Amino acid sequence: MSERLVTFETDGALGIVTLRRPEKFNALDIPMLRALEAALDAAEAADGVRVVLLCGEGKGFCAGGDVEAWSQMSAADFQVQWVRYGHRVFDRLARLRQPTIAVLSGHALGGGLELAVACDFRVAEAHVKLGFPETSIGVVPGWSGTQRAVRRFGAQTVRRMALGGEVFLASEALSLGVVDRVAAAGNALAEARAWGERIAERGPLASEAAKLMIAVAEGEERAAATEALASGFIALTGDIKAGVGAFKAKQKPAFSRS
């Protein structure tokens, strides 16, 4: 990975993606986003990895977008290089084939919370704070905080954070559905590992298909998910073997609907 800003490693059926910029509380800049995208590609391609954990090194999970990285950009570069590229990387995480768990051992604010929201589940330590503080510095959530977060948690909860400036502790975030489990200080990774190992015991193909179907229902993705499910089904049939075989032999296929 680029300067080891983000690493990917495997531990049995678990894949672990770790943000490694602790001196900046794992704030995201363009090199970090590129490294994260590469790590997610590696996770998706890893044989035997059935659940992916997303962690942050040091005291913070992710402080969001690095203000120094985007504040000097032109309006055009901010829109394309920052917002649109960040969306692409976060969408990559949300659409990873494996179930994902964000391990919140430190605060998740702004883009950091948007990153956690892109995961399927969130485990937060009791002291962790979560919120969308962007409007306090004159910007708006730009990496799906007003879109994916609303779909997953409801508009009113997001209003309280993005408009009202509320920052929730993990316990209140749990009651609002923003996090799924609360762990004692220092225990989020162990809790997420144990949960991930239980998830990994379930049928991997069934889990991937269920994740895709939920994504369709949620509006996360429709065209790609529908075609992936249909194509996966077709790939298991005799028709594809007959058709491809006939194509290679330059013959007319004899389909059996088997």
CA distance 196 to 215: 20
Q: If you ran DSSP here, which 8-state letter would residue 16 be given? A: E
Residue from 57, 114, 191, 208 carrying the catalytic annotation: 114
Whether 14 contacts 193, CB under 8 Å: yes
- Those residues with Cβ within 8 angstroms of residue 198's Cβ, 6 or more apart along the chain or in another chain: none
| Angstrom distance (rounded) from CA 56 to CA 51 | 17
Q: What's the 3-state SS for 205-225? A: HHHHHHHHHHHHHHCCCCHHH
The single residue listed with the structure tokens 């949300």 is 94
Measured distance CA(169)–CA(176) in Å, rounded: 11
pTM: 0.90
Residues 250, 248: Cα–Cα separation, whole Å: 5
Measured CA to CA, the distance from residue 95 to residue 240 in angstroms comes to 26
The domains found in the chain, sorted by start residue, are 6-201 (3.90.226.10), 204-249 (no CATH)
pLDDT of the chain, 258 residues: tens digit per residue: 446 899 999 999 999 999 999 999 999 988 999 999 999 999 999 999 999 999 999 998 999 887 777 777 677 777 767 788 888 999 999 999 999 999 999 999 999 999 999 999 999 999 999 999 999 988 888 888 899 999 999 999 999 999 999 999 999 999 999 999 999 999 999 999 999 999 999 999 999 999 999 999 998 887 777 877 888 888 888 888 888 888 889 999 888 877
Q: Is 134 a catalytic residue?
A: yes
191 is catalytic: no
Which of 134, 191, 208, 220 is flagged as catalytic? Answer: 134
